[in-house]
Amino acid sequence: MGFWNDQRVIVTGGAGFLGSFVVDGLRARGCTQITVPRSRECDLRDRSAIARLFANTRPTLVIHLAATVGGIGANRAHPGRFFYENAIMGIELIEQARQFQLPKLVVAGTICAYPKFTPVPFREEALWNGYPEETNAPYGIAKKALLVQCQAYRQEFGLNAIYLLPVNLYGPRDNFEPQSSHVIPAIIRKCVEARARDDAFIECWGTGKATREFLYVADCAEGILLAAEHYNNPDPVNLGSGSEISIKNLTELIARLTRFTGEIRWDPTKPDGQPRRCLDTQKAQKEFGFRASTPFETGLCETIAWHEQNRGGSTA
């Protein structure tokens, strides 16, 4: 814990879903000098704004979590915005970290950077073996470019930048807005609202055959902080739970936990996204001792309870 005593930490995206748990984890570790820049005060697309942020706070560590994100629908609707904003925020931040001679930088990438047909389980070495799944390729490639920048800056300038690849996250404080949410909050909201209206069915995108891996958000925050403490190498590292579930089985599980008893209908005209996602998580355990600890059903129950409490409904 002594690592954090005198650290001055910037957490970009620190008011967001994952970032808020990282900030909680920092405080639990005794870190008292934490800066969370808000977009209305510090536009991370603007290099001068980042330069001012660094000059005013004099950070010893930056954890870059800020991103423009969404589910399949949002990625299809805004590929240009998702590419530009994610690329430019990271590029400008890493460049300012170099100029400032920042002691350490932690950059969060994305599972969407992996090739569409990556062999399961996804190993970090496979990251460059093909093009990402088309619906989220602009986002994935923008984030993957930051890995190249981190490695190049380490090689030329000695910047201690590490790069992590979190799998799909879920948990309390997630985004439940229909137009931009990811799969778990989207299904939870559908089931909860359908149950409240006593609907006979819900409709879900795709065939349900695609698989995904999910990591509880507090576990991911712990992985990020462990990496900040102990990992100092250029190679990317997966952060995940190492378990896989089909979207069909996931939907049925959420329906049971939310007490929705109606029919689940699938719309195969909508995309499934990447066929399979499941990570090899051995490197994170070996390099900095991270292993996910929250059972999936427990995490889902906590997520459902948070959503029901925050929408004015009864606790699941």
**Non-local CB neighbours of 79 within 8 Å, separated by 6+ positions:** 137, 138, 139
Taking each helix axis from N to C end, the angle separating 183-197 and 296-310, rounded to the nearest 10 degrees, works out to: 60
Whether 247 has a pLDDT exceeding 90, the answer reads yes
Q: What is the pLDDT of residue 1?
A: 59
More confident residue, 99 or 311: 99
Residue 139 is a catalytic residue: yes
Name the residue ranges covered by the structural domains of the chain: 2-173+214-243+278-293
Q: What is the mean pLDDT of residues 144-163?
A: 98
Alpha-carbon span 47 to 73, nearest angstrom: 30
Q: Computed over its alpha carbons, how large is the radius of gyration of the chain?
A: 19
199 and 264 Cβ atoms separated by less than 8 Å: no
Which of 84, 114, 131, 139 is labelled catalytic? 139
Q: What is the pLDDT of residue 313?
A: 42
By percentage, how much of the chain surpasses pLDDT 70? Answer: 98
Whether 314 has a pLDDT exceeding 60, the answer reads no
168 and 111 Cβ atoms separated by less than 8 Å: yes
Compute how many other C-beta atoms are within 10 angstroms of the C-beta atom of residue 38.
9
Q: What is the mean pLDDT of residues 7-35?
A: 97
Q: What is the pLDDT of residue 79?
A: 95
Alpha-carbon span 105 to 98, nearest angstrom: 10
Say if domain 2-173+214-243+278-293 classifies as CATH 3.40.50.720. Answer: yes
182 and 136 Cβ atoms separated by less than 8 Å: no
Position 179 confidence tier, pLDDT thresholds 50, 70, 90: confident
Q: What is the pLDDT of residue 311?
A: 79
Q: Name the β-bridge partners of 61.
A: 9, 104
Position 180 confidence tier, pLDDT thresholds 50, 70, 90: confident
